[in-house]
A = this chain, B = another copy of it.
Amino acid sequence: MSDAYQQLVQHISEIGQLESVEAILDWDQETYMPPKGLHARAEQLSLLARMIHDRRADAAIGDLLNQVNGAAGDPVRETNVRETRRIYDRAVKVPSNLVGRIARVSTHAKSAWVEARRDNKFSHFAPHLKELIELKRELADYVGFENERYDALLDEFEPGAKTAEVATTFEHLREALRPFVAELKDAPRRPDQSILTRHYPQDKQVAFSRMLSKAIGFCFDSGRIDVSTHPFCSGTTPCDVRLTTRYDEQFFSMAIFGTLHETGHGLYEQGLGTEHMFTPMGYATSLGIHESQSRLWENIVGRSHAFWEHFYGDAQGMFPDALSKVPLDDFVGAINSVQPSLIRVEADEVTYNLHIILRFEMERALLDGKLDVNDVPAAWNSKMEELLGIQPETDTVGCLQDIHWSMGTFGYFPTYALGNLYASQFYAAAEKAIPDLTDRIRNGDFATLLEWLRSNIHRHGQRYRAADLVKVVTGEPLSDAPFLSYLRAKFSPIYGLG
């Protein structure tokens, strides 16, 4: 019995190693690869995707799973067996050839997207998007689903989640958010955002954002920060976590909060158990939980008054021209302005989820065949009007703004909004467990919170599915109540609400 389990671990570890190689190639493509390297990179990634797929679907894994199945075991073993079975069951249904095609088409779609965005030409990207959606529909048909194709895609990023349940959660959230946005719009007070668009020299931004990343716990011996067009965190292993960010000298928030966001992801990755490296127990449990960690550090901690009580002096020292005459409260107001806007990644905490709901609804319709690819720009604009009351003037700042579709990732966006909800639930639980948490943050002690996150969330790896983890940690199922009361508590004093 133990032998079969050991063999299974050996098998799945090699798959994990290949996935980590894939992650390095992806990271390299976004950071340092010379432009003409693209064609060969597409071939390399396609080959790796096929090899990973073939190993996941290897009959030897099926045999080993049957041998270890009855074994009562420790949680590590149970987790590894359960998750391996999940991956195996999914993989055996999908032809290797389809996986390779998706990988190759995505690599080319990504560069078409870059050009389409640069030239504001959706038509340049449309055929690639069409091909990817067809491939993803094909994939969903192979994988199988209970109610709708989207279930099969969502499950890849948020295992166990169901489209219909997510839709219900989002409807509730949307009905709560829209009146709140309106209330803020008519609020008696408005923070002055303009201080954030003063001149912030890039070298100072680099130094300041790295300092913040280190202060909240990111280990630079086990990770690094580079520059890319679209920031991301690539956790190849807990000992090699690569964040990227981007800089705008005329905008304080992009690099600073972008880095805090990616650092939140990176802390989760660095907190996974190295003893479980390359096996399911050593991986993050879902993208929703991943996003809860990034949003927790970026927003709940990083945009809090207490956080800047600690760091504002440093910020003023680093950017004296921009900030030396700005009082702390004005600065905290500015970084917490609420304003319906076009770009998701720059959206504030209140309107952000409306951007996600838009994408979720469009993806669902594209997969169902209810929306044609050529109608994407029009549908996008009308939904923006409906949800946020504004419309983009170009597709570049509209339906072409996100990289995700070009990578063939559909079913991914909802995890961002779920992450926001989980983050508030987790933070409320952390506040109960650490009664002086705000004071600790005020004094620059981030280690206590990080340790709480590590032992309650990170170290569990995939032991609990997202829906179970939130119950284990908070005693409650997924809920938007903590998020909505967090918003009201935070924004009421800033906007002078009654």
The interface of chain A, by Cβ under 8 A from chain B, is 14, 17-18, 20-21, 24-25, 28, 32-37, 39-41, 43-44, 47-48, 51, 219-224, 226, 236-237, 239-241, 277-278
Contacts and interface: CB of A to CB of B under 8 A. Distances in A.
A419 to B, nearest CB: 26
A316 to B, nearest CB: 30
A237 B40 CA distance: 7
Contacts of A21: 21, 25, 44, 48
A101 to B, nearest CB: 16
Given A34-B222, A277-B40, A14 B47 contact: yes
A39 B14 CA distance: 14
A43 B17 contact: yes
**Which of A33, A36, A221 is the most central at the interface, judged by chain B CB atoms within 10 Å of its CB?**
A36
A327 to B, nearest CB: 39
Contacts of A17: 40, 43-44, 47
A239 B36 CA distance: 5
A40 B236 contact: yes
A36 B277 contact: no
A40 B226 CA distance: 20
13 contacts: A17-B44, A21-B25, A28-B28, A32-B226, A33-B240, A34-B240, A36-B219, A36-B222, A37-B236, A40-B239, A40-B240, A41-B240, A43-B278
A220 to B, nearest CB: 7
Contact of A32 (B25, B33, B224): B224
A36 B240 contact: yes
A35 B240 CA distance: 8
Contacts of A240: 33-34, 36-37, 40-41
Contacts of A36: 219, 221-222, 239-240
Given A47-B17, A239-B40, A34 B277 contact: no
Contacts of A24: 24-25, 28, 44
Given A17-B43, A25-B24, A34 B237 contact: no
